[in-house]
Structure 1
Amino acid sequence: MDHFTSPQIGLALRRLRKKHNLTQKDLANGICSQAEISKIESGTHSPTIELLYALSRRLQVPISAFLDPNRQQDSLKTIDEDLLHRFRNQDFESIYKESQKILEQHDSSFEFVLLYKYYYYLCSYRLQKIDYRTCIVELQNLSADYLTSHYSPSMLIRIKSAIANLYSENKSYQHSINVYEEILKLNFDSDDLVTEKIRITYNFSKILLDFSKYEQALQLIDEAIEESLNFKDMSVLGQLYAQKGDCLEKLGATKEQIIGAYDKAYFLFELLNMNQYKKIISSIRSDFLKNIVSQNS
């Protein structure tokens, strides 16, 4: 688990402890050892995220009270990365409970509250505590908060992408398409956001393929491939070429065009050691060639 290393934390912890007239033993009771509190205050030990939250609850202050502004942003990023990793591993229950505790405190910083709300709603849906329509409404309200109270392009894009995915998962394809079109009208004016745009375009084109809008899907795929090459971003380039092959098949393109797309996808998957994708592409390519042979025999 990630640790916070700023000496600011130790100084803030000592100040807040004394403000509450607590001894190190009092503060540590039920949370950690007195020795650990002593080491943190002296700057020789770094607390984990979990420990820092436990101490913030005991002292009845937001976690941001331990941090300077620069460290607050670093900690927000660290917590987001941790939550995202756990979410991708489907650890929905623990994220839900952690988010619920944070949101019940009423003393966390606004940025932390907004972040935890995002995960809270998604995990509530994954745990079937709310339906997808309720989740979408809550996420829409959250995006309004980000737009009016704490503008964050990356979070707006992430929230709207989650809404589009929820629509898609529940077969409301036209609603999903409408949201994706709305997302692509946003400004992607940094390298990080361009990378995110590529991933969004890839997801959007998958929906268009499912909705049989092949020409529009192919146009988006080609744009995403071009941007991936321009920014030297290979994160989904192989998947884009594989998708292009599928799209070209459905549009009745030439054998050379289709095989060319699949071969580029295979090369990229091999380059990046994505063996499972290699097997899938090999199977798709083989099936395509068999179909060509059977049609010509």
Structure 2
Amino acid sequence: MTVMEKRGRGSLVASKIGDKVLGRRKELKMTQADLAKNICTQSQVSRIEKNEIMPSSDTLYQIACRLNVSMDYFFGVEPVNHTIRGKKICEDYLESKEFETLEVFVDAQLQTVLTEYEHRYLTWVKAVCSGYTKPDLRIAIKTLEALLENPIKHQDYELEASIHSSLSIFYRKSRESEKAEQQIRKARHIINENHLFNETAAKIYYQYATFLMTEEKYEDCLDLSNEGIDICIKHNILFLLDNLIYLACGSKQELDMISQKDHELCCVGYGLAKMKNNTVLIDLYEQELKEYQLT
């Protein structure tokens, strides 16, 4: 591809673009040859970065795609595009618990040129996969601990909460209860501090409440479950609402505090589980309802 030279009044614009191309390329740890491949020559990339020439719009567009930014990024209108290539695939496979297949996909992605943020996200996903596919939990735990010890400039609070949450799960599986609670508490703090009330928040509240139930801390489990239920209702989040209701009702059963209001709430949770065809939870609700003698 040809590169148009712009001089005179265009030198200021060229300077801004050259600086941004250079800075972004170094952020991605990409060589000039990597950036130039199938777009222009390495020499032209060098001259662009030295602010000697202004690329044509077509060349600049291809450079933007290679650097994973929008065209506006070069003109000071928009920050770096922090979207993650393949994120939807990761989310779908995580949701369906197809960890072995996802691990293959993530390994392939980690071999490509990535932003620091993309690398952090995919490393977290890989750690989650290894926690469920590898016999030694320490591999996943050490990877997640390393991520938390080495924060990056771009802060995605939802991702950071998820890293803490995943670490809590694996600590719990390795019977390190104190560490598990510390991590899930940190995840909850991040969610609340940054008002991130979405499906990730529901997961964290559900995980924390489940942990408290297994530790037989029923009063704390009830408080966390009710807080999670309130968030789900206030922010119209149906995800895991049926699970949180089940934990709240289960806690009240253990505390011998079941009331008519709890009967109604339990029926709501049971209905949600049936709508979602959550067969495991349906069975649990039916057992609880029989115990309550509320059916």
Query: What TM bracket, shorter-length normalisation?
Result: 0.5 to 0.7
2:38 is the alignment partner of 1:17: yes
1:273-284 correspondence runs (5 A): 273-274=276-277, 276=279, 277-284=281-288
Aligned-pair identity in percent equals 13
Q: Which among 105, 125, 145 is matched to residue 119 of structure 1?
A: 125
Relative distance call for 1:87 and 1:64 in structure 2 (3 A) is farther
Q: Which among 259, 269, 272 is matched to residue 268 of structure 1?
A: 272
Q: Contact 2:117–2:152 (CA<8 Å) still a contact in 1?
A: no
What is the CA-CA distance between 1:71 and the residue it aligns to?
Answer: 11
Residue in 1 that maps onto 2:212 = 208
Instruction: Using the TM superposition, name which of 107-116 and 218-227 deviates more.
Output: 107-116
In structure 2, how many angstroms separate the alpha carbons of the residues matched to 1:247 and 1:97?
40
Segments of 5+ residues of structure 1 without an aligned counterpart are 1-14, 22-40, 42-60, 293-297
Residue in 1 that maps onto 2:99 = 92
Q: Which residue type is aligned with residue 65 of structure 1?
A: L
Q: Which among 280, 284, 289 is matched to residue 285 of structure 1?
A: 289
Residue in 2 that maps onto 1:226 = 230
Q: Which among 169, 182, 189 is matched to residue 185 of structure 1?
A: 189
Q: Which among 159, 163, 184 is matched to residue 159 of structure 1?
A: 163
Q: Which residue type is aligned with residue 240 of structure 2?
A: V
Q: Which residue type is aligned with residue 137 of structure 2?
A: Y
Q: Contact 1:62–1:109 (CA<8 Å) still a contact in 2?
A: no
Residue in 1 that maps onto 2:27 = none
Instruction: Using the TM superposition, name which of 224-233 and 204-213 deviates more.
Output: 224-233
CA RMSD of aligned residues (A): 3.5
2:137 is the alignment partner of 1:132: yes
Q: Contact 1:249–1:258 (CA<8 Å) still a contact in 2?
A: no
- Tell me how many residue pairs correspond in the alignment: 237
Residue in 2 that maps onto 1:36 = none
In structure 1, how many angstroms separate the alpha carbons of the residues matched to 2:260 and 2:129?
45
Relative distance call for 1:275 and 1:214 in structure 2 (3 A) is closer
In structure 2, how many angstroms separate the alpha carbons of the residues matched to 1:255 and 1:166?
36
Q: Contact 1:63–1:108 (CA<8 Å) still a contact in 2?
A: no
Segments of 5+ residues of structure 2 without an aligned counterpart are 1-35, 43-57
CA deviations over 1:210-256 (Å, ceiling 9, x no partner)? 10101111111121222222222222222222111111111011453
Residue in 2 that maps onto 1:143 = 148
In structure 2, how many angstroms separate the alpha carbons of the residues matched to 1:258 and 1:197?
23
Relative distance call for 1:279 and 1:121 in structure 2 (3 A) is closer
Q: Contact 1:118–1:159 (CA<8 Å) still a contact in 2?
A: yes
In structure 2, how many angstroms separate the alpha carbons of the residues matched to 1:180 and 1:232?
23
Relative distance call for 1:67 and 1:215 in structure 2 (3 A) is same
CA deviations over 1:61-107 (Å, ceiling 9, x no partner)? 9974365267974751x5112112123334333433343344345x4
Regions of 4+ moved over 4 Å: 61-64, 69-72, 189-192
What is the CA-CA distance between 1:204 and the residue it aligns to?
Answer: 0.6
SS at match of 1:149: coil
TM-score by length of 2: 0.67
Relative distance call for 1:170 and 1:269 in structure 2 (3 A) is same
In structure 1, how many angstroms separate the alpha carbons of the residues matched to 2:125 and 2:160?
14
Q: Which among 83, 86, 89 is matched to residue 90 of structure 2?
A: 83
Residue in 2 that maps onto 1:54 = none
**Between Structure 1 and Structure 2, which shows a larger proportion of helix residues?**
1
Q: Which residue type is aligned with residue 210 of structure 1?
A: T
Relative distance call for 1:190 and 1:180 in structure 2 (3 A) is closer
